[in-house]
């Protein structure tokens, strides 16, 4: 449950591409989301990316900050922060931070990513579980979505309905493969307006929360921003949404459909 909520909160829901490639975002982009169950608001999230100097390098710092509000905050308080420091030349993470507080459960984890020391693998060092050797090109949960916006979505002309796109990430201190199934183009209502979007379903595990593998949906704007504008979770007790309410610093005007 935590993985899927934060995948959406993420944000899910996102960094510099190869030289010459058109960017879908820039440092200074900031997006505000509301989490709601029907007409009842239960939380909010902020996704932003800024320029930062760390480890003696110019990096891009992505951050997702999510929290419960209102009655949800009284019943089950959540304060989750995810951060990624990304090398703009390779689009790969240098450092990731997971700082979560969900009810009585708390977890703080820092992971360092070494993509240069070995040609055939990456070295990850976690402050909780030590050193791990993984495949080259591995992402963390934030950098993978920025990469997705720059390398997959601009090439949607070559993606067919039903195609599956896979990205290997390191999440909750373990390997976490993300598989996104392309569903098609839809016009989506959000609190920021109606937006034409590409819809994807990340493959979910059936059982305790989900009935099928397609009970989570992501919508990315079908313009040059490829902004994550809405996420829907269909669980046994109903459906809840994460949707954009405001934004700033987009590289292109967000295309809102006129009524």
pLDDT above 70 covers a percentage of the chain that reads 85
Which of helix, strand or coil describes residue 170? strand
Q: What is the pLDDT of residue 110?
A: 98
The answer to whether residues 228 and 247 touch, using CB atoms and an 8 Å cutoff, is no
pLDDT at 18: 38
The pLDDT of residue 258 is above 80: no
pLDDT at 236 over 60: no
Q: Which domains does the chain have, with CATH numbers?
A: 2-246 (2.40.360)
| Average pLDDT rounded to a whole number, residues 185-203 | 93
Is 80 exceeded by the pLDDT of residue 30?
yes
Confidence (pLDDT) at 187: 96
pLDDT in tens, 54-69: 878 899 999 999 999 9
Alpha-carbon distances, residue 238 vs 101, 194, 233 (angstroms): 24, 23, 8
Question: Please, what is the average pLDDT of the chain?
Answer: 87
Of 21, 167, 140, 165, give the one whose Cα is nearest residue 84.
140
With 60 as the cut, is the pLDDT of residue 182 above it?
yes
**Is pLDDT of 217 > 50?**
yes
With contact defined as beta carbons under 8 Å apart, do 178 and 172 qualify? no
Q: What is the pLDDT of residue 210?
A: 47
Task: Indicate if the pLDDT at residue 12 is higher than 80.
Answer: no
* Separation of CA 146 from chain center: 8
Q: What residues contact residue 74 under an 8 Å CB cut-off, 6+ apart?
A: none
Q: Percent of the chain beyond pLDDT 90? A: 71
pLDDT for residue 41: 87
User: What pLDDT was estimated at residue 240?
Assistant: 76
Q: What is the pLDDT of residues 91-137, one digit of tens each?
A: 999 999 999 999 999 999 999 999 999 999 999 999 999 999 999 99
> How many beta carbons lie within 10 A of that of residue 57, not counting itself?
12
What is the reported pTM? Answer: 0.86
The HSE-up count of residue 238 (CA atoms within 13 Å, CB side) is 7
Determine the Cα–Cα distance for residues 63 and 14; give it in Å rounded to an integer: 9
46-50, 165-169, 233-237: segment of lowest average pLDDT:
233-237
CA distance 228 to 245: 12
- Output the pLDDT for position 21: 59
pLDDT at residue 214 above 80?
Answer: no
pLDDT value, residue 206:
55
Q: Which residues contact 137 (CB under 8 A, 6 or more apart)?
A: 92, 115, 122, 168
pLDDT band at 24 (very low <50, low <70, confident <90, very high): very high
Per-residue pLDDT band for 7 (boundaries 50, 70, 90) equals very low
């Amino acid at each position: 449950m935590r993985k899927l909520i934060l995948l959406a909160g993420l944000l899910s829901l996102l960094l510099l591409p190869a030289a010459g490639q058109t960017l879908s975002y820039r440092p200074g982009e900031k997006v505000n989301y509301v989490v709601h169950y029907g007409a009842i608001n239960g939380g909010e999230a902020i996704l932003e990316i800024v320029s930062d100097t760390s480890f003696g390098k110019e990096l891009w710092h992505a951050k997702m900050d999510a929290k419960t509000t209102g009655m949800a905050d009284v019943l089950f308080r959540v304060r989750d922060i995810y951060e990624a420091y990304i090398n703009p030349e390779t689009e790969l993470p240098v450092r990731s931070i997971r700082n979560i507080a969900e009810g009585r459960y708390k977890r703080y984890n820092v992971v360092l990513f070494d993509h240069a020391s070995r040609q055939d693998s990456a070295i990850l060092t976690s402050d909780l579980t030590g050193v791990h050797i993984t495949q080259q090109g591995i992402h963390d949960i934030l950098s993978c979505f920025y990469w997705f916006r720059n390398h997959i979505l601009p090439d949607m002309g070559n993606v067919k309905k039903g195609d599956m796109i896979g990205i290997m990430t390191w999440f909750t201190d373990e390997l976490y493969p993300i598989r996104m199934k392309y569903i098609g183009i839809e016009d989506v209502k959000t609190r920021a307006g109606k937006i034409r979007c590409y819809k994807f379903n990340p493959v979910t595990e059936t059982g305790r929360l989900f009935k099928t593998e397609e009970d989570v949906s992501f919508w990315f704007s079908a313009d040059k921003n490829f902004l994550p504008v809405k996420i829907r979770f269909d669980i046994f007790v109903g459906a809840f949404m994460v949707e954009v309410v405001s934004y700033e610093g987009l590289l292109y005007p967000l295309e809102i459909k006129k009524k």
